[in-house]
């Protein structure tokens, strides 16, 4: 495993990398509130067959995190930096793993550069209305009528007990290591974290507006998609995995007995699904 940074538009993007660069590239895109460390168990499973690369988004993990007053924390801008990262890393074609926040970023990249996509793993990476759990109705109310009070209330998403609940919810007792959520909690304590993440919570509405664009990409290009979904996830419910079948004949759906962070408990199973499909 190699750990490094690369400059993209003047900012340092941290990434972890393993495998032979002559092998097909596999780009791993993390979600919230985590970073590339969520792939710490999966990468060794893939490294013999793929060139595996997992960046931290700007404002996450070990990448640079400008103040929210100095940087536009929107998903479009995060995507622009991942696009710049792909260019710097000279990734001509690649497989892609998307989770949570990584899904709108990854599918936007696919819509911009369909010729680059070899296949997609979606792990609770939603692009359908059917996949939005009940909590999103409250978010919609906030987007429709944003107030400082509501912005402040959504900062509860960054509390330790909320993050631990995201990891543990829907999982069997004893199946989740504390390593991931402990590191995520550490990151929430860094300066300006709550403000930049609050900007992204508000901007998430634009991802939902882009769902038809992402679905059109799937209909037009019929990419191979492996949907490996924690079926007990209350945020992105399993109907979001099934919905891929409406638009793409090349979809394989696996509903796993876990929650939002199902990779934490089922990384071996997900790794085997990937290797069986593309290695």
Specify the pLDDT at position 207.
98
The SS3 of residue 251 is: strand
Q: Is 26 buried (19+), middle (13-18) or exposed (0-12) by CB count in 10 A?
A: buried
The pLDDT of 60-80, averaged and rounded, is 98
- Report the DSSP beta bridge partners of residue 236: 132
Ordered by where they begin, the domains of the chain are: 2-278 (3.40.50.1820)
Q: Is 98 buried (19+), middle (13-18) or exposed (0-12) by CB count in 10 A?
A: buried
> Is 68 annotated as catalytic?
no
Q: Is the pLDDT of residue 57 over 90?
A: yes
Catalytic residue among 37, 51, 68, 260: 260
Q: Write phi, then psi, for 156 (nearest 5 degrees).
A: -60, -20
**In angstroms, rounded to a whole number, what is the distance separating the alpha carbons of residues 279 and 275?**
5
Q: Tens digit of pLDDT for each residue in 234-269?
A: 999 999 999 999 999 999 999 999 999 999 999 999
Specify the pLDDT at position 145.
94
Tokens of 77: 């801008």
Q: Tens digit of pLDDT for each residue in 103-158?
A: 999 999 999 999 999 999 999 999 999 999 998 999 999 999 999 999 999 999 99
Q: Tens digit of pLDDT for each residue in 181-210?
A: 999 999 999 999 999 999 999 999 999 999
The pLDDT of 204-220, averaged and rounded, is 98
Specify the pLDDT at position 135.
87
């Amino acid at each position: 495993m190699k750990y490094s940074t690369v400059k993209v538009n003047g900012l340092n993007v941290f990434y972890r990398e393993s495998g032979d660069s002559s092998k097909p590239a596999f780009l791993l895109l993390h979600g919230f509130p985590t970073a590339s460390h969520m792939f710490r168990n999966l990468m060794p499973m893939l490294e013999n067959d793929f060139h595996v690369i997992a960046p931290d988004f700007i404002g996450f993990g070990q990448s640079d995190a400008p103040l929210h007053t100095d940087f536009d924390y929107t998903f479009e801008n995060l995507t622009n930096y991942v696009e710049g990262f792909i260019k710097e890393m000279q990734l001509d074609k690649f497989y892609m793993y998307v989770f949570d926040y990584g899904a709108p970023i990854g599918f936007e990249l696919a819509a911009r550069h369909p010729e680059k996509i070899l296949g997609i793993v979606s792990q609770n990476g939603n692009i359908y209305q059917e996949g939005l759990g009940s909590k999103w109705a409250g978010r919609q109310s906030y987007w429709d009528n944003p107030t400082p009070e509501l912005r402040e209330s959504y900062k509860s998403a960054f509390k330790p007990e909320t993050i631990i609940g995201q990891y543990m919810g829907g999982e069997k007792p004893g199946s989740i290591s504390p390593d991931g959520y402990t590191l995520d909690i550490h990151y929430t304590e860094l300066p300006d974290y709550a403000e930049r993440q609050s900007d992204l919570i508000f901007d998430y509405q634009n991802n939902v507006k882009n769902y038809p664009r992402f679905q059109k990409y799937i209909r037009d290009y019929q990419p191979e998609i492996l949907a490996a979904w924690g079926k007990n996830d209350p945020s992105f419910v399993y109907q979001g995995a099934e919905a891929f079948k409406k638009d793409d004949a090349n979809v394989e759906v696996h509903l796993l007995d876990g929650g939002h962070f199902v990779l934490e408990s089922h990384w071996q199973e997900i790794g085997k699904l990937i290797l069986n499909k593309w290695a």
